[in-house]
Structures are given as structure tokens and as C-alpha cells.
Chain A
Amino acid sequence: LISKRKPQLLPAGCSHVNAYKVDNWRPNLRVIYQCFVWSGSAETRRRKAKSCICHMCGAHLNRLHSCLYCVFFGCFTKKHIHEHAKNKRHNLAIDLLYGGIYCFVCQDYIYDKDMEQIAKEEQRKAWKLQGVGEKYSTWEPTKRELDLLRHNPKRRKMTTNCTIGLRGLINLGNTCFMNCIVQALTHTPLLRDFFLSDRHKCEMQSNSCLVCEMSQLFQEFYSGHRSPHIPFRLLHLVWTHARHLAGYEQQDAHEFLIAALDVLHRHCKGDTTNDNGKKANNPNHCNCIIDQIFTGGLQSDVTCQVCHGVSTTIDPFWDISLDLPGSSTPFWPLSPGGDGGTVNGESHLSGATTLTDCLRRFTRPEHLGSSAKIKCGGCHSYQESTKQLTMKKLPIVACFHLKRFEHSAKLRRKITTYVSFPLELDMTPFMASRWASTNYLPPGLYVLVRYALFAVVNHQGTLESGHYTSFIRQHKDQWFKCDDAIITKASIKDVLDSEGYLLFYHKQFLEYE
């Protein structure tokens, strides 16, 4: 007879702690953690170093433990703590290095939920004191989740060679522009994490929440289905909520991105952590996931040429639109040598224009000219001024829009100038003056402005007829080409050699606020 019962799991905790968990045990335990385990400050560290030695042999290593019932330190390796436990019948001790609780009756380390709670809290406090801040902790399943997982042994893990997370999208009739944006969004790591951990709590009464549809989209992408998804509901919802997009006007991928982010942001009201509900629509105050990820702050400094007073405004942005050489607006300020950059036609630069060139141009001080005088608050009159744009707040995801489609009154064309863009981008030179490279940045801080490319949307063809495709990054260094329903593997070279229309960069290191 084979028992059909599932193998019993030994309980993680034990009953012997019950004798300990009486009276003032919580604050007592906290003190032990604060003083002898997690040293938050240099002072506590010194105290720990000096006082935590084995009462029997004087060692400060050898897996030193502290008795939970009295002030006794004993090393584990030489079994001095065991002796103490036996002699005094104090059956619980704590490992001073990692804070684990050892039960001498069970003769094993035990994990009691309440005690672990205290341990975690004290550890967090110590990290804060040390200046480490929040540390990433991995997910742990709850008992219920464990149960579910145990009953479903056919698990799939996302390895680097896994197709899960990738899926084609059916073209609904010239909707490749939408498909590319969907691919970029579903491969935005933070957005993916938000939706896959089910963070959206919908407060919309009707069925027309775009955030819910987005959530559904992620489910589709991670379902393991191989046939392409038909994003008809998404199209319907976007057109319903962004009427200006619908129909024949503006089938531009960039336009669609902005409209989609806008609708998502509006529909995210339920998720804002901000208690000021009325501010949900104000990008400066909203704290929805869209704002957290995509919203940056663009600082505009207008300097009066007479009194040199500076007027500063900060505007939120979701993308940076960059002029290209070859457009009707001059790219480079006319300077001698090298940077030719003619007004029309091809660039005569010796090397290709880079994204950094475009950003440099974007953030250069610009004389506004005598025809655009501003009212200076200091001079109380209209004066000539210079204007400069810089990044005040960097978004976690920075989207660069290369302005390839030009349509002025006389001219309608696509600028196909090749712009070289990097896999990694350093935004330091484009930060607002307080951050400027003139200030010394301690080495650790430097990495905070490093960005990594993770999606590229390309347009092939002419202004009148063309096709959008995209490249997306998966698993750190794998790239895939998304051509509507067809997903194929791509090389980094394919990506970097492509023309580039929308470039998506993701901050490499995130800090907790």
C-alpha cells in the first residue's frame, strides 16, 4: 500500500519558542538584534567587536552565538554555546553573524514568523543607518502559493533560451505602428514587473480601462502561446479614449506612444500612492506607474542678456524629440571645420551623427534673437535672451524621438540620415546645471545616470508608404526583431545599424526613494 498522502513538510518553526515568547520578549529581541547582530552605526559596530566574544574561550569568530535568555556569548564551533544551553536549560540562541535562531531541543535552526519579522525590521533599520538604504529582497512564496506550486509540478522557468515573454502581434490593417509600441512597452522591465505582480487595482466602473487591457496584454505575452496575439481590443480602447488618433490622421508610432501613455496615466488613478486624489491628472503630482517610469522633468532656463537674471521653468516630459541634420532647421550652429551639416540634403560630417550630438544640440544655449525678446522681471522691459534646456529629472525610461518626418508648409519628407546610437548612454552632460560635470560627482553617483538601450522602433519606406518594425531586448543581451506577427532573433549589430526612429533607454540602476 502506497500512502497517497503528500509528504509532510517539517514545520519551519518549533514549539519550543513559545516559552520564550512571553512578557517583553519583543523589545528584548530587538535589543539583541540591534546591539549584537545588525550594527547600524560605527559605534555599535565597535561595541559589538569589543563585547561579543565567547565567554568561555574568548574567540570572536567561530560562529559566535548569543543566548536568548541571558547575557552569554558562546561559540558554536567549539560547542561552548551548547554547554551553556545544557547547563542553564536555555534552549534558544542567536547566531550573531546572520541572526538565525537555533533551538537546542530541535537541534536545528528554526524560522519563527514573529521573530523573523523583528529580525527583518531591525536589519532594515541598520541598513538605513549605514546609508545602504533599501536592499532588494527576493520574492518568497506564501503558504498558499507554496501549496499551489506543489500541486503544479509542470513549471516553466524563464531561462535565457526561452520564448516566454515574446509574442507576435497581428497587423489589424496598417497598425504596425501600434504593434511596435506594444512591443516596446511589454519589454519595459519595470512596467512588466508592475503588471506581472498584479499591481493594478482597477477603479473604473466600465469595461474600458486601458490599464486593465495592458495587464491582459502582459498575460497574453507570458501565456506561452505561440500564435500571434490579436490586439483588437487594445486598438478599440485607444481609439475610444484618444479620438484624435482614430482614423486616418496621424498613424505615427511616436504619436501613438504619447497618446497611449496619456490614456494609461489617466486610467491609473486607482494606483496612485498619492492621497491627493484630485491631483491625479497633474503630471507633477501623480505617482502612477506611468509617471514613475516615464515622466522626466525638463528644465528651461531663460537668461536675460542684460541683467543676466535667469527665469527657470520645469516641464514634465515623456519623450525628447530631437532635430536631425538634414532638416530645414540648421543642425549645428555654423562653426568652422568638421561639423558641416548643411541645411538641406545630406550631412557632410566625417563621422555619422550620433545621438549624443543630437542631445548636445538639444541642450545647447540658444540665442532667441531680437525678434523674440522676453519680458525680463529684473529689467522690467523686453530684452534679448538665451534659452537652454537641460534635464532636471531623469525618467527611469527615456524615450528619444528622432524627428524624421518633416512637414513644413512647402516641404514634406522623411529624413533618412543615419544617426548612430549607443547601447549604453551617459546622461551626465545633459543634466541641469546643478548636476553639471563642473561639479565633482563622487564615483558611486556616476552610475545613476547610465542608461541602457532596450527597444528601438524603426520606420522603413517613405513618408507616404512605409512600415514600422521594432527591436526589443530580452534577457540582458538578447535582441529580437518584431515585425508584426513575426518575431525573429536579431544581433546587436542589426539593432545598432538600423536607422532608428524611437529609441528607448532604461536606467541601469534604480534607487529607492
Chain B
Amino acid sequence: MKMENMSLSGLDNTKLEALAQDIYSDLVEDACLGLCFEVHRAVKQGYFFLDDTDQESMKDFEIVDQPGVDIFGQVYNQWKNKECVCPNCNRSIAASRFAPHLEKCLGMGRNSSRIANRRIASSNNTNNKSESDQEDNDDVNDNDWSYGSEKKAKKRKSDKNPNSPRRSKSLKHKNGELSSSVNTDPYKYNYNTGINYETLGPDELRSLLTTQCGVISEHTKKMCTRSQRCPQHTDQQRRAVRVFLLGLSATSLPDSNTAVESDGYDASDGQVLMSRLQWDGSSDISPSDSASSKASTNNSDSKKPKKKKKTSLNSTGGGGGGSGSVGGSSSQGCLAGQANRKKPKLPVPPAPSIYDNLN
């Protein structure tokens, strides 16, 4: 089959077809040969196996497409307890509060100098810590911070949404005056409220522990009356106190991974509890409620299935949309300064004598 110059004009259709067919099959064969070489080389060079994967672990990374969970199969809104270490001051900060913290820490916020001066001016008594943190909260949640647009001018206080959380927060500082749903100082709250478990019988304890947190405060020796999802205490602490009070057959807590709308205390629980325990004084609503808008509407809002950050009542506005659910973020913020919050240890079971009393 020698190579020769050939004119195509003299050929009829069948000949042309045959030529085309020849060329085509040659090309296909060449292509196949090329693939063979590729594989041959891969095997010889030793990288043919690279395509092999571990099927088992691959399954772990399959995308999930179900309602209520993200692509990893995780439920929404379970990331409230994330913390990070500030690169500037090396303190451990709740992740959802890191930005406002950093703003102050780097001395960049509008109010940074004001706060700094205030701190210097005030005396070093112990109560100062929580108060100044509350003020920080106030400043931090100032609407100036929360702008997400290209605005140049500062928003005046008068422009504030009268329903905005800032209004209700400022109520906090009025001495002694409490709205029905606003809690003043969570720090003070711990001293004044809570249930003394020693006065309760095992049945009462058991029913109590099905509806509320119950973790015993080391300071007051009283049980926490917040809901079972109260952010101040961990599930581990709750489990421990149930074991301690009810013995090893204590009922388990509800799954903490279920999607929760509000991190805070539900008002309805408070009503029930109050009637049962003839609780007097401020309600047991957590600081999270006070941080979000007006009392009654807020509570119902917190139960909405939609995420809070999309509503205009959200305390965090502007470019940010809030950090997780409103309840969680604010309560974390309020409690950030508290010693209780940072305690990693479980409450230590009291001396055997008290335990014997219960039995």
C-alpha cells in the first residue's frame, strides 16, 4: 500500500465511501491505541491505582439533600457554643460575639474610647464586670454597628425602630423597674432566684427536672429554673444533676441536637412553673428574651419556624444577620462576663449528708 498522490475527482461515490471508511477506522484504531498507551504507562509508572478510593469513607462525604438538615446531614442552629481565641487579647470569646469584641479590642469602635474611659473612671468592685459588659452589649448592639449598606451617615437614635431591642435593653438600667418579661441583671438573677432542691421531694424533683434545666448553682445551691435548653449550663451538667438527685435511673435529657428555635426560656414554661411553685418576683425568662424586641411578640417570634435573622425585629441588622438564632447569641453575649458561664467543670455533688437527706 504505497503512498501516492491521488485525485479525488475521478472517483465515484462508493470509492469515496470506502476511502472515508478507511480513514475513519484508522482514526478510531489510533485513538484506541493512544488510550492503551496511557493505561500502560500509568501501570508501569505506578500511578494507575490512584483512582482507587476507599468506598467506605467516601460514603461519609455524600451530599445530603433533605429538609431541615444541611448538606452534611446536620441539623441547623447547633453551633451556638463555638468559641475562639482573640488574636489580640488572647481571651476566649464566643464566636458569634467575636466581631463586636474585636472592634473594641482593637480600639476601632465608635464607642471604644468612651468605654475605655468609663472603665478607668469606675472603681474596681466586683459588680462592675457584669455592668460594664452589659454596657458593652448596649453599645455593641447599637445600630451603628449593624449597618450592612454603603451608608455614610450614622443613624440617629431617633431613627431607631421603637420596637428595636435597644429600647428594651435600656430599660434594664432603670433601677428596680422591670417589665414583665425583661430580666435585669442575670448575675443578680442567680442570687435571687432558683429553687432549693432540698425542700422538694423526689417526685416533685422528678417532674421538675422534666421541664427545667435544674443544674445546681455552686453559689446559691439552688436549681436553675430555666428551660432544659438553657444556654448557661451544658447537657452534661444537666445529666449529672439528674443522676445526683434521682439516682442512676434518671431520665435522659431530650436530644440536644434537635432543631431549636429559641435558646432561651419559653414564657409558657415560666407561667406553668410560676403557678406550681408560687414563684414570686421576676419571671424566669432568660436574658435572651430581653435582648430581642418586645416581650410578648418576641416570645411568639422565637417560636416561628423561620430563622429569626430574616425578620426586621432582629437586633442584629445591617449587613450581618445576627449570629445564629437571636436567643442564643444574645444570651451568650449577656452571660459572657459571668464566671458561671466559663466554668467547664460539672457541679460537684455535695457532701454525703445532704444526699442522705433526700433518700
Using a CB–CB distance below 8 Å, which chain A residues touch chain B?
A: 9-10, 12, 49-50, 53, 58-61, 63, 97-98, 100, 108-111, 140-141, 146, 149-150, 153-157, 159, 161-164, 166, 168, 170-177, 224, 226-228, 230, 232-233, 235-236, 239-240, 243, 246-255, 405, 407, 412, 414, 459-468, 480, 484-489
Say whether B108 faces chain A, with CB atoms less than 8 Å apart.
Answer: yes
A488 & B37 in contact (Cβ 8 Å cutoff):
no
Q: Determine the chain A residues whose CB is within 8 A of the CB of B82 once the complex forms.
A: 170, 228, 230
Which of A163, A177, A252, A255 is within 8 Å of B72, CB to CB? A163
B98 & A232 in contact (Cβ 8 Å cutoff):
yes
Given contacts A173-B140, A464-B149, 5 further A-B contacts (CB under 8 A): A149-B50, A157-B51, A172-B97, A172-B323, A251-B319
Say whether B148 faces chain A, with CB atoms less than 8 Å apart.
Answer: yes
Say whether B3 faces chain A, with CB atoms less than 8 Å apart.
Answer: yes
Q: Determine the chain A residues whose CB is within 8 A of the CB of B318 once the complex forms.
A: 174, 251, 464-466
For window 55-86 of chain B, which residues contact chain A by CB distance below 8 Å?
Answer: 57-58, 61-63, 65, 70-72, 74, 76, 79, 82, 84, 86
CA distance A253 to B321 in the complex (A): 13
CA distance A37 to B99 in the complex (A): 63
Q: Determine the chain B residues whose CB is within 8 A of the CB of A253 once the complex forms.
A: 148, 319
Q: Determine the chain B residues whose CB is within 8 A of the CB of A172 once the complex forms.
A: 95-99, 102, 323
B323 & A228 in contact (Cβ 8 Å cutoff):
no
Q: Determine the chain A residues whose CB is within 8 A of the CB of B327 once the complex forms.
A: none
Chain B, Cβ-Cβ closest to A465: B317
Most chain A beta-carbon neighbours within 10 Å: one of B52, B61, B317? B61
CA distance A224 to B62 in the complex (A): 11
Q: Determine the chain A residues whose CB is within 8 A of the CB of B110 once the complex forms.
A: 247-248
Q: Determine the chain B residues whose CB is within 8 A of the CB of A243 once the complex forms.
A: 108
Could you name 21 residue pairs across A and B whose Cβ atoms are closer than 8 Å? A61-B1, A61-B26, A98-B34, A109-B37, A154-B54, A155-B50, A163-B71, A171-B323, A172-B95, A173-B97, A173-B100, A176-B321, A232-B86, A247-B109, A248-B154, A251-B147, A251-B149, A407-B153, A465-B312, A467-B321, A488-B70
Give how many A-B residue pairs fall within 8 Å (CB-CB): 259
A53 & B3 in contact (Cβ 8 Å cutoff):
yes
B108 & A239 in contact (Cβ 8 Å cutoff):
yes
Say whether B45 faces chain A, with CB atoms less than 8 Å apart.
Answer: yes
B102 & A174 in contact (Cβ 8 Å cutoff):
no
Say whether B119 faces chain A, with CB atoms less than 8 Å apart.
Answer: no
Chain A, Cβ-Cβ closest to B100: A173
B contact face: mostly helix, strand, loop, or mixed: loop
A173 & B98 in contact (Cβ 8 Å cutoff):
yes
* Contact A170 to B148, CB < 8 A, known contacts A233-B87, A251-B320, A466-B319: no
Q: Determine the chain A residues whose CB is within 8 A of the CB of B314 once the complex forms.
A: 465
A412 & B151 in contact (Cβ 8 Å cutoff):
yes
For window 9-58 of chain B, which residues contact chain A by CB distance below 8 Å?
Answer: 26, 30, 33-34, 37, 40-41, 44-47, 49-54, 57-58
* Contact A236 to B87, CB < 8 A, known contacts A61-B26, A155-B53: yes
CA distance A255 to B148 in the complex (A): 10
For window 118-168 of chain B, which residues contact chain A by CB distance below 8 Å?
Answer: 140, 142-155, 161
Q: What distance in Å separates the Cβ of B89 from its nearest Cβ neighbour in chain A?
A: 11
B147 & A236 in contact (Cβ 8 Å cutoff):
no
Which of A156, A227, A463 is within 8 Å of B54, CB to CB? A156
B320 & A407 in contact (Cβ 8 Å cutoff):
no
Q: Determine the chain A residues whose CB is within 8 A of the CB of B148 once the complex forms.
A: 174, 177, 251-253, 459, 461, 465-468
CA distance A58 to B1 in the complex (A): 6
A246 & B321 in contact (Cβ 8 Å cutoff):
no
B149 & A463 in contact (Cβ 8 Å cutoff):
yes
Say whether B106 faces chain A, with CB atoms less than 8 Å apart.
Answer: yes
A464 & B143 in contact (Cβ 8 Å cutoff):
yes
For window 312-332 of chain B, which residues contact chain A by CB distance below 8 Å?
Answer: 312, 314, 316-324, 329
Give me the 7 closest cross-chain CB pairs, A-B, nearest first.
A174-B320, A465-B317, A467-B321, A251-B319, A173-B99, A226-B72, A248-B144
Which of A141, A240, A246, A254 is within 8 Å of B47, CB to CB? A141
Q: Determine the chain A residues whose CB is within 8 A of the CB of B151 once the complex forms.
A: 250, 405, 407, 412, 463
* Contact A109 to B65, CB < 8 A, known contacts A227-B79, A230-B95, A247-B110: no
